[in-house]
């Protein structure tokens, strides 16, 4: 059987179906632990976020992908500060893996992972940074990246998010049988990112 190589950027619903059994589960209870994280936004965080919103409110719809990243996404991620002795943030790290006979590879937009000079164990993925939906499929690209990370690191759950303009969608993926995955999706932003940092970025 010939091995097929697929870049994450080429992933669509059609070829994701060939790669594995990805099933959407409509159950928001799985997000309770993540989204009920007890983090108090202090006045400095609040002032920072309000200023960030005001600075971008009237321009964000017209931003290029790079402007959206530079002016809005990166300042939020910097404020969350995904750095410790055990993990750090990585922009467009190269990852690859074998998923049910398909070699998937590419560069996720953003990843939190352990490692000093190269990423080792991923904790969280953030994909796309698009100002609006295009022909690319950010959800399926994200799912492929998360599935590869789960297989490479022999874990049964991974958290991630994708962003299109003002919309953030948060994802939890569970592996429940060989080659089968279930996905839950919901939306929120800053506290969810803080929860990733404090609850899940642990070795």
Burial (0-12, 13-18, 19+ Cβ within 10 Å), 154:
exposed
Whether residue 2 is predicted with pLDDT greater than 70 in this model: the reply is: no
Q: Where are the domains of the chain?
A: 4-200
Dihedral, CA of residue 91, residue 97, residue 100 and residue 102, to nearest 10: 90
Instruction: Give the Cα separation of 64 and 61 in Å (integer).
Output: 9
DSSP state of 185: E
Across the chain, mean pLDDT equals 86
> CB–CB of 107/125 below 8 Å?
no
DSSP codes, 47-112:
HHHHHHHHHHTTTGGG--HHHHIIIIIHHHHHHHT---SS-EEEES--EEEEETTEEEEE--SEEE
Q: How many CB atoms lie within 10 A of CB 178?
A: 8
Q: Which two tokens stand for residue 39?
A: 């983090």
**Rounded mean pLDDT, 96-104:** 91
**Residue 143 confidence (pLDDT):** 92
**Residue 114 confidence (pLDDT):** 94
**Rounded mean pLDDT, 11-18:** 87
Q: Find the length of the chain.
A: 203
Q: How many CA atoms lie within 13 A of 112 on its CB side?
A: 28
Whether residue 1 is predicted with pLDDT greater than 70 in this model: the reply is: no
Q: How confident is the model at residue 131 (pLDDT cuts 50, 70, 90)?
A: low
**Residue 184 confidence (pLDDT):** 66
pLDDT tens string 38-80: 888 889 988 998 899 899 888 887 888 888 889 988 999 999 9
What's the gap between Cα 143 and its chain centre? 9
pLDDT tens string 141-193: 999 999 999 999 999 999 999 887 667 888 999 988 766 776 766 556 787 88
**Residue 61 confidence (pLDDT):** 79
**pTM (predicted TM-score):** 0.83
Q: How many CB atoms lie within 10 A of CB 66?
A: 9
**Rounded mean pLDDT, 6-32:** 87
**Residue 106 confidence (pLDDT):** 93
**Rounded mean pLDDT, 117-141:** 81
Q: How confident is the model at residue 135 (pLDDT cuts 50, 70, 90)?
A: low
């Amino acid at each position: 059987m010939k091995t097929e190589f697929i870049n994450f950027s080429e992933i669509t619903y059609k070829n994701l179906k060939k790669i594995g059994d990805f099933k959407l589960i409509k159950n928001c209870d799985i997000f309770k632990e993540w989204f009920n994280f007890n983090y108090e936004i202090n006045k400095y965080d609040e002032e920072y976020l309000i200023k960030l919103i005001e600075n971008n409110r009237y321009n964000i719809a017209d931003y290029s992908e790079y402007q959206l990243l530079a002016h809005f996404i990166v300042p939020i991620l910097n404020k969350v500060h995904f750095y410790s002795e055990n993990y750090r943030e990585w922009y467009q790290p190269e990852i690859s893996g074998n998923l049910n006979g398909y070699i998937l590879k590419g560069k996720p937009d953003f990843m939190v992972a352990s490692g000093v000079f190269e990423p080792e164990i991923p904790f969280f993925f953030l994909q796309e940074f698009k100002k609006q939906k295009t022909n690319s499929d950010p959800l399926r690209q994200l799912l492929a990246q998360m599935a590869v990370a789960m297989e490479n690191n022999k874990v049964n759950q991974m958290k991630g998010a994708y962003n299109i303009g003002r919309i953030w969608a948060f994802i939890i993926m569970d592996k429940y049988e060989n080659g089968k995955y279930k996905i839950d999706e919901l939306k929120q932003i800053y506290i969810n990112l803080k929860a990733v940092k404090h609850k899940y970025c642990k070795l």
